[in-house]
A and B are shown apart, each in its own frame.
Chain A
């Protein structure tokens, strides 16, 4: 330890407030009140929409299971949910604040998890994610999914050390560098998930108090580099950092009708599915586009198209409203808790959900590039389901431990 604890009196905010409570001092007018009694331990404002979305997801997956025999195992979806709830309960009961002192461990863990698919013998091919899968014994999962939570904890714990104010550029650069390492690892196998992790981590850094000018400069740098990558990839003779098919997937949504690629066809079919749903949808199981094979991956990547075709505009808006409710409840909780670490964990979860919903829904409706990002609680696949429910558990853990000592 390079620095000694300076004592309860000097510690301020964030983690120091924990220290205050350890010392037995009363909470200094903490903003988080909340119910007492049996329900006092759960944050209903976030839990209710999450559970409703899980329920909608079950109904939607049931329709897929009826139509796509062989591709969808409904039992395995339910098993994933059960496993997810178990994980959520474990996370909920665990005092997440312990994580704030495990930055190094989290860094190593995230790197190991993201490198797993690259280890010969463990990585297996599967799904649209290409190399992102790992098989350990009978288990087959995508380590990139749970590693999202690890990165959230990593970035939150790293950023929380600055107590809401990053004052030197070196500190800012360090935080960016911390995010960059796991990011580069995941980029190799799964560009889409890599971008999700990047945006989540970046949101945490921004919210942890990085000066606006640095943030803007960083964004400008990223935009410039991205543009450079895209331009060099699309001009013959220059190094193609993105392969042609990757480039197509990223840009085809701008003009799907003008492209003959398979991605364009898939996108158009998904848009037809959603648009033809109309106001009230075609009804449960009546999705001719999604359930008769016109929309590919209708249980995973294009799950929103399957849902929107069956339940229409009303159903889509209901689902989006539930997501918005869940995410905003998480952000509002972040505003109310005192410790910087707690705030940043919540920010991370909210950002992760926001970007996943934006990408997964936005891809189906033609406003975002085509990637294989799962829609939280809706998409078929246990890796994602367990991770997302564990994230719910993490938010609930923040609530449960809002006033208690670890």
Chain B
């Protein structure tokens, strides 16, 4: 309070006091005096007894009042210390105790041979108490030292997204120089501490980025769902690092460790004054994938080479490749290009990095095209069409057709409305096996037409496609898989009606049967689906669910404590004769379709059965080049499929990728330099 104000108040009070004294005492008949110096009391009226009585009754009243006051205090203490004591004790306990959490390192992700794809590294982190933000000088010094703008440091200090813990992360992965400087000048940086945390690290770089996915700070939705869960889920806390995509998300419960908890006693300032119970953090389990890092690397390198070559032209290109062990469904390689580096997500991705990854110009590097890139299959569907035709009696092993390069529904070559074979010069007289080998479209137009007029089973083709797993998810252990599409009359009707087309436009046409017979039209598949379908062609029966997890590694030793239980999706029984027919057609693709193509395969010891494909897309300019294969012919083990979006022909693009993968598998790289001919 201001001194002058005080003096004024004092003077005022004294003035009031004097006035009161004069008014109150001055009106008395006699001059006022306080002291009577032992003279007779002022009160002269009333007898002894009456004054005694008054005083006594007042004193009794005083005693009663004192008693009442103490009774009130007693009653209140009774209610607080006896009746509600537990409630208060609970609040006192929650005041004095606090839980300190320590993050458990996530489990590593290893390839099938134990090679580390994702591991952890120690990271030095600068953290600071939130009140450091009030110290302008300290914030500026810290910013200068770390090399961040002061405003950014301030924002980090005010960031409560990691919970209202007193410590806020300012910067991760700081240099030893920064650590040393802060350590040597604790007086300059009060409230700033250095912590050692573990961060995700990728020793093989972006290898299998789409498969392993990335981690990030737990999102609000994840927190909510973990809180509302039935208790079987992991209970996340704000600031936890969790898997966001890929294997990191799929096997979050395996990889996520158990955070350490320490109950500490604190005082009102939050200083720890004692320790209570401790639960040590438990690191997450190591996950062993079916991926072979070497095959994966070969697939990615080859895909990158092919796609980058194409993309150097005007249009963007992309591609994917899948290699599966068809005897059990293990995925040995799954590549998608363009790709990304999961390490940019470590410690939180910057906004500009995120925008770059989402940009159309970057051609969506985050998309795992092997499971979510849906394209028309083109000619790689033809073996399935052949099986459908044979099974439904639309064609027999001895059927043959004549291809002039121009095909009309009526058979009248002069009709204006018709469809071309990809080889416009025509294939001449041709049977089913050669139809596959040389990918003769006319053969399959006829099959499509045959199904259109089939009384027994007009949708037999779609039935067979679905049997081989198309139009539905394979159930691979990755999030974000797409189902593809096998179009039929019912689908078309519903889809086109929903878009407002007329009844006529929404009706299934015969030409569409011809289209899907060669893998065009509205058909969509993913490369994983095609790989799974070729697995069935290769094994001649059981179709294993493709999967990426091999097992969970034991904490001690190299053994697996829990293995993926392989399961068959379905068992397809094809007639042995039909299988041989289709196989011979596929073998022909590899070695007979064109000499230049064969030259890339004859330098490989094993016999490879394959099918090329080139699909035109409705949605974009470029074709999708396909190449699906399996080997060895006598006892198939590997199925390798690749597709390249933006290609001219499958044989000139995807084939090289597949060949390079076999080169890695068998240790026999492609030595042929012959340019593959343009062929479907």
Residue positions of A touching B, CB distance < 8 A: 1-6, 10-16, 18-19, 101-104, 107, 111, 115, 118, 120, 123, 130-131, 157-158, 160-167, 170-171, 173-174, 177, 180-181, 184-185, 188, 203, 206-209, 269, 271-279, 288-289, 292-294, 308, 312-313, 316-317, 320, 323-324, 327-328, 331-332, 334-335, 340, 343, 347, 350-351, 354, 357-358, 361-362, 365-367
Question: Which residues of chain A come closer than 8 Å to B85, judged between CB atoms?
Answer: 275-279, 313
Interface contacts beyond A2-B31, A188-B6, A366-B76: sample of 14 additional A-B pairs, CB < 8 Å, sorted by A: A2-B30, A4-B39, A161-B36, A163-B42, A164-B55, A174-B28, A207-B58, A207-B59, A272-B92, A277-B85, A293-B267, A313-B82, A320-B73, A340-B41
What are 7 inter-chain pairs, A to B, with CB distance below 8 A?
A3-B36, A5-B38, A271-B88, A278-B81, A292-B273, A293-B267, A367-B73
Find the B residue at minimum CB distance from A367.
B76
Contacts known (A15-B38, A209-B58, A292-B267); A131 close to B70, Cβ less than 8 A:
no
Q: Mark B269-297, 1 if CB is under 8 A from A, else 0.
A: 10001000000000000000000000000
Whether the pair A292, B268 counts as a contact (CB closer than 8 A) is yes
Question: Which residues of chain A come closer than 8 Å to B50, judged between CB atoms?
Answer: 165
A170 to B42, CA, bound (A): 12
Whether the pair A181, B41 counts as a contact (CB closer than 8 A) is no
Q: For the complex, is B122 an interface residue (Cβ under 8 Å from A)?
A: no
Whether the pair B46, A165 counts as a contact (CB closer than 8 A) is yes
Whether the pair B13, A188 counts as a contact (CB closer than 8 A) is yes
Q: Specify which of B9, B25, B89 is in contact with A278 (CB 8 Å cutoff).
A: B89
Q: For the complex, is B674 an interface residue (Cβ under 8 Å from A)?
A: no
Question: Which residues of chain A come closer than 8 Å to B87, judged between CB atoms?
Answer: 275
Whether the pair A163, B31 counts as a contact (CB closer than 8 A) is no
Question: Which residues of chain B come closer than 8 Å to A313, judged between CB atoms?
Answer: 77-78, 81-82, 85
Question: Which residues of chain B come closer than 8 Å to A208, judged between CB atoms?
Answer: 55, 58
Whether the pair B37, A1 counts as a contact (CB closer than 8 A) is yes
Contacts known (A294-B95, A317-B77); A162 close to B55, Cβ less than 8 A:
no
Q: For the complex, is B3 an interface residue (Cβ under 8 Å from A)?
A: yes
Q: Mark B571-583, 1 if CB is under 8 A from A, else 0.
A: 0000000000000
Question: Which residues of chain A come closer than 8 Å to B82, judged between CB atoms?
Answer: 278-279, 313
Question: Which residues of chain A come closer than 8 Å to B48, judged between CB atoms?
Answer: 12-13
Q: Specify which of B14, B27, B40, B267 is in contact with A11 (CB 8 Å cutoff).
A: B40
Whether the pair B21, A177 counts as a contact (CB closer than 8 A) is yes
Q: Specify which of A173, A316, A351 is in contact with B77 (CB 8 Å cutoff).
A: A316
Find the B residue at minimum CB distance from A314.
B81
**Those of B1-31 within 8 Å (CB) of chain A:** 1, 3, 6-7, 9-10, 13-14, 16-17, 20-21, 23-25, 27-28, 30-31
Q: Specify which of B39, B55, B63, B77 is in contact with A274 (CB 8 Å cutoff).
A: B77
A272 to B85, CA, bound (A): 9
Q: For the complex, is B45 an interface residue (Cβ under 8 Å from A)?
A: yes
Find the A residue at minimum CB distance from B32.
A174
Question: Which residues of chain B come closer than 8 Å to A294, judged between CB atoms?
Answer: 95-96, 267-268
Find the B residue at minimum CB distance from A346.
B59
Question: Which residues of chain B come closer than 8 Å to A323, judged between CB atoms?
Answer: 70
A311 to chain B, nearest CB (A): 10
Whether the pair B42, A188 counts as a contact (CB closer than 8 A) is no
A13 to B54, CA, bound (A): 13
Find the A residue at minimum CB distance from B36.
A161
Q: For the complex, is B220 an interface residue (Cβ under 8 Å from A)?
A: no
Contacts known (A6-B39, A275-B87, A362-B73); A207 close to B81, Cβ less than 8 A:
no
A26 to chain B, nearest CB (A): 17
